[in-house]
Amino acid sequence: MPKIDPFEKHSDNYDAWFEKNRDIYHQELAAIRKLMPSPSARGLEVGVGSGKFAVPLGIKIGVEPSERMAAKAEKQGIRVFRNVAEDLPFSDEEFDFVLMVTTICFVDDINKSFREAFRVLKPCGCIIIGFVDKESELGRQYMDKRNTSIFYKEATFFSAQEVRKLLMDAGFEDLTFKQTLIPGKPDEMIQDGFGKGAFVVAKAVKPRQLNDHSGL
């Protein structure tokens, strides 16, 4: 079952966090933008929530199992499908990119979620994952306090190395990482790689699929 109960009951609290933590929110957006494809690319956000990332990033289609969150995103002009990451309601090769921001914490089956993203991407399309690295200081704090957290009580956190392996297992290649929210660094600091920043963005590409002409 999708872990939507906290988002159904506390959707206003979710939105309030972004207002209270604008600097963190904008830095996460900036890191994601570093790996976004061209503005003309057709994108999908899986776990679109109330549209906090889709709207500023120009994404018009989302998937969100929480009715309360989906309704908020629709008011922002996003077309939202009430589905889960493991069962996307789209045909093969529909999108140029798929975005997932903190969504991997809440899916039931991350392997199936990545395979579904792979399926709906066009050849050479990319998946972009934003997540809190469980091996960062912030990640450890979230894990230590998750039993008292409204949203993270049932969350599963991942390290950047784990996300790398999971993406490769799903068939993706050409992985790129950006990191931000680096302790002791200026708020605007975004660096390549991972291991220092609390918020990591991973980009991975679906390989070009060559036509099989063996029967010609």
Structurally, how many domains does the chain consist of? 1
Cα of first residue to Cα of last residue in the chain, in angstroms, is: 47
In terms of residue numbers, what domain contains 65? Answer: 5-205
Determine, yes or no, domain membership for 25.
Answer: yes
Residues 12-59 pLDDT 10s:
777 888 889 899 999 999 999 999 998 899 999 999 999 999 999 999
Asked if the model's pLDDT at residue 214 lies above 60, the reply is no
The CATH number given to whatever domain includes residue 164 is 3.40.50.150
Q: Mean pLDDT over residues 102-112, rounded?
A: 94
> What does the alpha-carbon distance between residue 85 and residue 88 come to, in Å, rounded to a whole number?
6
Average pLDDT over the chain reads: 88
Whether the predicted model's global pTM rises above the 0.85 cut? yes
